[in-house]
Structure 1
Amino acid sequence: MKILKFLMAAFLCVNSLSAQEYVGGDISLLPKYEQHGAKYFDHDGRPVTDVIAFFKQQGLNSMRMRLFVNPENASATDKGQGVCQDLDFVKNLAKRIKTAGMSLILDLHYSDSWADPAKQWTPKAWEQLNDERLYTEIYKYTVDVLQELVEVGATPDFIQTGNEISYGMLWGKEGSQDHRCYIGNTANWARFTTLLKRAAQACREICPHAKIILHTERTLQPEVQENFYQKMTEASVDYDIIGLSYYPAYHSTLTSLDKALTALENKFSDKKIMIVETGYPYAWPVGGTTYDLTDTYPYSDAGQELFTKALIATLHNHQNVNGLYWWFPEANENGLDWMSNRVTDSWYNAPLFDNRTGRATSALSALKSFLQPTSGITALSTSTADSSWYTLQGLRISRPQSSGLYLMQNQKILIR
C-alpha cells in the first residue's frame, strides 16, 4: 500500500474547507404540491410556509430540476408520475431557487417524458430529423433554453446534458432501440458523442461559467460506467463532472457505491463527481426494490437518517466527490384530497417529508453534514491525534485497510 503524504498540511486544511461542495435535492415538482395546498411542517410540527427557504435553513445550498422538451406529449401514466416541467415551469422555479441564493442544476432530459437507461425517446417534434439535423437541433434547443433562463435571472450553475444516459440518448421514436449504445459494440457511439459535443458547445457559449455534468446510473456495474466515461475521453467530449445516480434499492450497498467511486477516481482523477440522485424510504419500500437493506437501515425515520449519515460518511472517503442531491424530497400528500386533488397517482416512499403528517424527516437535517467533512474529529486532543490513524468521520483505526483519505498527526494522508 503506497502512502502519498501531502507536503503542505496547512494548505490542504484550507483547501478542504474552501473547496465548494453542494448538497440539496431535485425539487422539480414542488410548485405542484404548493398549488394543490400540501401542508409542510418542520420535524417538530411547526408550519413551513416557504419550502425553499426552509431547505436553506436546514443547511442545503443547491437544488436540481428537470426540463422536458414538450411534456404535453407524455402519456397519462407519465403525467401521473410528475411529468409536467416545460420551459415556463422551469423558469419560474429556477428563478425562485436562484433568488434564494442557492446554486442550480438544470437537468435537460432531451425528451418529452422520462429519460433513463430503459428509455431515451426522441421528442416528437424531432422524430423525423436525420442525424445532421438532430445535431443542429440539440444545439439550437440548448441555446434557446439557456438564453431564456439567463434573461429571467435564473442562470444555471450546472447543466446536465441528458439524464441517466448510460446507453446513449435520442434513440428515436418510442420503443426504438436503433440508436442505443452498448459496452461491447462501437455502433452509435460516434452519433451519441456528437450530440453531447453540440450540447456542450451551446452550454459554453451561453453559460460559460456553468459546469457540465454527464449523468449515468450503472453504479452496480462499474465496468459499464468506466467504459462510458472512457468513450467520452476518447471522443474528446467536453464536460466537467461525473454525475451518478445511487439508490440502494436498485444499486445495492454502500460498499458497491464505494467501489464504483474508487474506480472512477482512479481512472478519471481530473473530474469531480456528484451523486445527483439518491434516496431511501422512511416507512415503506419504493417500487421495484431489488435490494433490501432493512437489516441495517430499517424503513423508519431513524433508519432513513442512519442511511443518510452512512452515505455521507462513504462520500467523505472520496476527495473528488463534491455534490449530493436527494431525489424528490418535496413529495408530500399531507393536506390533499387523494381522490380529487392529488399531485401524483401514487405516493413516493423516499422523500424528506412524511406523506402522512407533512413533517420533515430527520434525514433532512442530516444532509448538511455533507458540507462538513472534518466534523467529528475536531475534539481530538493533539497527543491522541499525533499517534493514531483516523477516518474523516473521526473513527480511530489501527491502520488504513483500504484506499482513501485518512488523518494522522494533524495531516490528511491519501492511501492508494
Structure 2
Amino acid sequence: MPLKRILALACMAIALSGCATAPARTGAFVKGADIGWLQQMEATGYKFRNKDGAEQDCLQILQDYGINTVRLRTWVNPSDSKTSGHNSKDETVAMAVRAQKRGMRVMINFHYSDSWADPAKQKKPAAWEGHDFPRLLQDVYSYTHDVMSALKQAGVTPEWVQVGNETPGGMIYPEGSTANWPQLAQLINQGYDAIKAVSPSSKVILHLDQGNNSARFRGWFDQAQAHGARYDVIGLSYYPYWLPGKPDYTQSIGDLGANLDDMAARYGKEVMVVEVGGEDTQPQNTYDMLVAVQQKVKAVPEGKGLGMIYWEPQGARNWSKYALSAWGDDGRPTKAMDAFLTD
C-alpha cells in the first residue's frame, strides 16, 4: 500500500476516534499546563481566544503553543466554589479523558484534601476527621485506588501521579506532619502502593515548593530516604514572584539549576518543575524566565530533567483574580506562552 494511503488511513482513524492529534511521544520534554480551573471557566461562560482573537477550544490553543501535557488536581469532597472548589474525581477523570483524546499526556495531583493543599495548609478531608492513624492509612489507599481505577476504567493511564501537593511540612495534618516522619512516610507509601497497584507504569512524584532552595530540598528528601518513602520523581515549584527578597527570576534561576542537578545526582531520581508562573502584567519577563527554566531542566545530566509545567496559564485574572497566569483580559494568551515554542 502506498505510504500516502497509509498515512491517510491513519489520520482518518485518529479523527474517528475523537483525537485531534497523534498521542504525544512518551519521553519527549514535558511542556505542560495545570488546567484545574478550565472546566469551571468554561461552565461560567468564559471565552478563550487564540492569539489572532478567534474563539477556540482552550486545549487547542495550548497545543498550538507546544503544550503536550496537562496536570490535573483532585480533591476528595470539594465545594462548588468557582475558584476554590470542583476538581472532584468525576471532573478530573472527564478532563483527563478530554486531554488524552487530543493526544496530550496526563499528570494527576492528589492533594488529599477537600480544597487547596500547599505549604500554608494541609487540612485533611472532612470525611477523614476523627479517624485514627491506621484508618487514615486505609483512607489514603482506598481513595487513591478509587481515583486511579476510575481513570483506568475511562481508558486513561497517567504518566505521572503526585502523592501530595507542595508538602515541605508534610500532608494530612496533624498525623502526616514532618514532625512525625515515620507516619508521613507511611502515608506517602500508601498512596504510592495504590497508584502502582492500578497503574504500574505511572511514575510517582513527591513535590516541594521553593525549587531554588537547596537546603529545603536536601533536608526533606534526606528524611524521605531515611524513612523509606517510595517515589520515582522529584517535583519542584518555582515562583520568583513569591520568593522573599528575590522578586526577579535572574536572582534565583542559578540556584534552581543547581538544585535540579543536585537532586538528580544525590537521590538518583528524575526531576521536573511541576509548577511555574510569572506576573501576567510582565509577559516579556515571564517569557524570559520560562525560557531560562526550560534550559536549566534540559541541562540536568543524564537526561534526568523531564520538563516544566505552567500553573493555570489560562486562568486569566479577570476570571480568577490570580496574578500569575499567562492570559490577558482580552481572552488571549500573552507573550509568555511563546516560551513553550522555543527549543
Q: Is the 8 A contact 1:29 1:82 kept in 2?
A: no
Shift of 1:204: 0.7
1:27 aligns with 2:31: no
Shift of 1:220: 4.3
Shift of 1:201: 0.6
Give CA-to-partner distance per residue, 1:248-307, whole Å, 9 cap, x none.
112342122123223313312x21101000000131xxxxxxxxxxxxxxx2x3222222
**Corresponding position of 1:62:** 69
How far apart, in 1, do the equivalents of 2:27 and 2:173 lie? 38
**Corresponding position of 1:125:** 127
Shift of 1:179: 4.8
**Corresponding position of 2:22:** none
1:258 aligns with 2:254: no
1:358 aligns with 2:331: yes
Q: Is the 8 A contact 2:78 2:87 kept in 1?
A: yes
Shift of 1:19: 4.5
**Corresponding position of 2:238:** 246
Q: Is the 8 A contact 1:282 1:303 kept in 2?
A: no
SS at match of 1:243: strand
Q: Is the 8 A contact 2:113 2:172 kept in 1?
A: yes
Report which of the two has the higher share of helix: 2
Give CA-to-partner distance per residue, 1:138-178, whole Å, 9 cap, x none.
11111111111111123322100110111111114xxxxx6
Q: When the two structures are superposed, what TM-score results if normalisation uses the length of structure 2?
A: 0.85
How far apart, in 2, do the equivalents of 1:195 and 1:261 lie? 25
What is the 5 A alignment of 1:11-410?
19-45=27-53, 47-72=54-79, 79=81, 81-172=83-174, 179-181=176-178, 187-251=179-243, 252=246, 253-268=252-267, 270-283=268-281, 299=282, 301-319=283-301, 320-332=304-316, 343-344=319-320, 347-354=321-328, 356-369=329-342, 372=343
Identity of aligned residues (%): 30
Q: How many residues align structurally?
A: 310
Shift of 1:318: 1.8
Give CA-to-partner distance per residue, 1:372-404, whole Å, 9 cap, x none.
3xxxxxxxxxxxxxxxxxxxxxxxxxxxxxxxx
Amino acid aligned to 2:180: N
SS at match of 1:208: coil
Structure showing greater relative contact order (alpha-carbon pairs closer than 8 Å, 6 or more residues apart): 1
Amino acid aligned to 2:60: A
**Corresponding position of 1:375:** none
SS at match of 2:158: coil
Amino acid aligned to 1:273: V
How far apart, in 2, do the equivalents of 1:58 and 1:303 lie? 18
Would the alpha carbon gap of residues 60 and 179 (structure 1) be closer, same or farther in structure 2, given more than 3 Å must change? closer
Q: Is the 8 A contact 1:38 1:333 kept in 2?
A: no
Hey, which bits of structure 1, 4+ residues long, moved more than 4 A?
none
Amino acid aligned to 1:238: R
How far apart, in 2, do the equivalents of 1:164 and 1:19 lie? 24
Give CA-to-partner distance per residue, 1:304-354, whole Å, 9 cap, x none.
2222222222333223211200001111366xxxxxxxx54xx22221211
Runs of at least 5 residues in structure 1 that lack an aligned partner in the other structure? 1-16, 173-177, 182-186, 284-298, 335-342, 373-416
Shift of 1:54: 2.0
Shift of 1:116: 0.8
SS at match of 1:188: helix
How far apart, in 2, do the equivalents of 1:237 and 1:209 lie? 18
SS at match of 1:69: coil
Amino acid aligned to 1:282: D
Q: Which has the larger radius of gyration?
A: 1
Runs of at least 5 residues in structure 2 that lack an aligned partner in the other structure? 1-24, 247-251
Amino acid aligned to 2:305: V
How far apart, in 2, do the equivalents of 1:211 and 1:360 lie? 31
Aligned Cα root-mean-square deviation (Å): 2.0
